[in-house]
């Protein structure tokens, strides 16, 4: 084969191979590499051109035209493949970055106070408005504040009823306990007043956790109480009843009938349990109030002279009333919550339904 025919054949083969590779290029980057490999200074076409110098002069323009045609064909094919790949890549990007504007947004769920805390705040707020001052006491108590000063001496059967969690503090002879009720705050508040050289009137509300070694459907080893008391000259049972009537109607947001039923507590004399007209049947009698129309809600009474004596308040001058209530119980009655355990399981569906107001 003549020199020129061999060159033509080489160019032909190069073009065929190049066009096939261009059409197969996976992406723009690969295509760019092919452009350099074929049309670049050190590319395939250049190396074929090196053979042109060996041709006789009259053949050179002929092959020159052939080379130009090949070059143009490659350039054209590259441009075509490039615009095809560019539009393919653009489509892929648009597909990948597509935003579904109909998708609902991500909302944040605001936190809320636990229903027991909400109830506790509602209750103490009512007493604050009535002029009772907020007080606190420790959850780890001693026998004096939890029992003795409240007229519950060591052998008293009421101590056994309290199902107390006792524990010893290492290195001391003291017996400590988890308070079984909020009544020790009465003692602490009265002591603080006397120690500061003050004297009644004293009107206090205290709320917090209490502990009893007791667990079943209606009892939890930890629950909450609100304790209220007032000490002054001439405080009577009528004041107690008036405060209870106002509080219970304010808390239940309706006029609830109340009644005081004689009872026994060591720290009050006389003592009474307080019932409200059943909030489920409007006092008519139902399954929940066992047909009586009444539901027991709290314990109360006139502060026992021994309690005043224990803190150094003269019971011949001063008298007082006191009462204590279970927060969970009142929240359950107000919102028709059937099971005490719901408060402690923290099922988020229950908490959401009881959400912040």
Q: Enumerate residues 296-355 that contact ligand DAH by CB under 6 A.
A: 299-301, 322-324
Please check whether residue 45 is in contact with residue 78, taking contact to mean a CB–CB distance below 8 angstroms: no
The count of chain residues that interact with ligand DAH, using the rule CB under 6 A, is 11
Q: Judged by CB under 6 A, does residue 123 bind ligand DAH? A: no
Q: Judged by CB under 6 A, does residue 268 bind ligand DAH? A: yes
Q: How far is the CB of 294 from ligand DAH (least distance, A)?
A: 18
- Tokens representing 209? 């956790």
Q: How far is the CB of 251 from ligand DAH (least distance, A)?
A: 17
* Closer CB to ligand DAH, 132 or 323, in the complex: 323
- Cis amide bond preceding 210, omega within 30: no
* Closer CB to ligand DAH, 85 or 302, in the complex: 302
Dist CA 268 CA 274 (whole Å): 14
Dist CA 103 CA 76 (whole Å): 45
Q: Which positions from 169 to 188 touch ligand DAH by CB under 6 A, shown as an x/- string?
A: ------------x-x-----
Residues 6 or more apart whose Cβ sits within 8 Å of residue 23? 77, 81
- Kind of pairing, strands 202-211 and 175-178? unpaired
Q: Judged by CB under 6 A, does residue 265 bind ligand DAH? A: yes
* Closer CB to ligand DAH, 10 or 220, in the complex: 220
- Tokens representing 230? 């007032």
Dist CA 138 CA 182 (whole Å): 9
Task: Choose, by CB under 6 A, the member of 44, 141, 227, 328 that binds ligand DAH.
Answer: 227
* Closer CB to ligand DAH, 137 or 301, in the complex: 301
φ, ψ for residue 76 (rounded to 5)? -60, -45
Interacting residues toward ligand DAH by CB under 6 A: 181, 183, 227, 265, 268, 299-301, 322-324
């Amino acid at each position: 084969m003549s020199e020129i025919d061999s060159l033509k054949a080489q160019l032909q083969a190069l073009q065929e191979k190049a066009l096939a590779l261009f059409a197969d290029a996976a992406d723009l980057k690969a295509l760019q590499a092919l452009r350099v490999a074929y049309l670049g200074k050190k590319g395939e076409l250049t190396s074929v051109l090196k053979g042109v110098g060996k041709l006789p002069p009259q053949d050179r323009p002929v092959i020159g035209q052939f080379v130009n045609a090949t070059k143009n064909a490659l350039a054209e094919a590259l441009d075509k493949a490039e615009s095809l790949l560019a539009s393919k890549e653009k489509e892929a990007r648009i597909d990948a970055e597509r935003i579904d504007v109909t998708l609902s947004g991500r909302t944040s769920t605001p936190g809320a106070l636990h229903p027991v805390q909400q109830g506790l705040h509602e209750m103490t707020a009512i007493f604050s408005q009535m002029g009772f001052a907020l007080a606190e006491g420790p959850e780890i108590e001693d026998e004096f504040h939890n029992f003795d000063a409240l007229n519950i001496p060591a052998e008293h059967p009421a101590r056994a009823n309290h199902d107390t969690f006792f524990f010893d503090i290492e290195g001391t002879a003291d017996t400590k306990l988890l308070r079984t009720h909020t009544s020790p705050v009465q003692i602490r508040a009265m002591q603080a007043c006397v120690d500061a050289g003050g004297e009644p009137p004293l009107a206090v509300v205290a709320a917090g956790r209490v502990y009893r070694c007791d667990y079943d459907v209606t009892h939890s080893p930890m629950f909450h109480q609100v304790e209220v008391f007032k000490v002054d000259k001439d405080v009577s049972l009528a004041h107690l009843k008036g405060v209870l009537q106002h509080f219970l109607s304010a808390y239940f947001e309706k006029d609830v009938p109340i009644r005081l039923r004689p009872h026994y507590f060591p720290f009050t004399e006389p003592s009474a349990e307080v019932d409200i007209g059943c909030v489920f049947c409007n006092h008519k009698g139902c399954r929940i109030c066992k047909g009586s129309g009444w539901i027991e809600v709290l314990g109360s009474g006139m502060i026992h002279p021994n309690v005043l004596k224990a803190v150094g308040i003269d019971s011949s001058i001063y008298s007082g009333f006191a009462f204590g209530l279970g927060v969970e119980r009142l929240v359950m009655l107000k919102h028709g919550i059937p099971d005490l355990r719901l408060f402690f399981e923290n099922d988020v569906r229950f908490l959401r339904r009881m959400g912040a107001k």
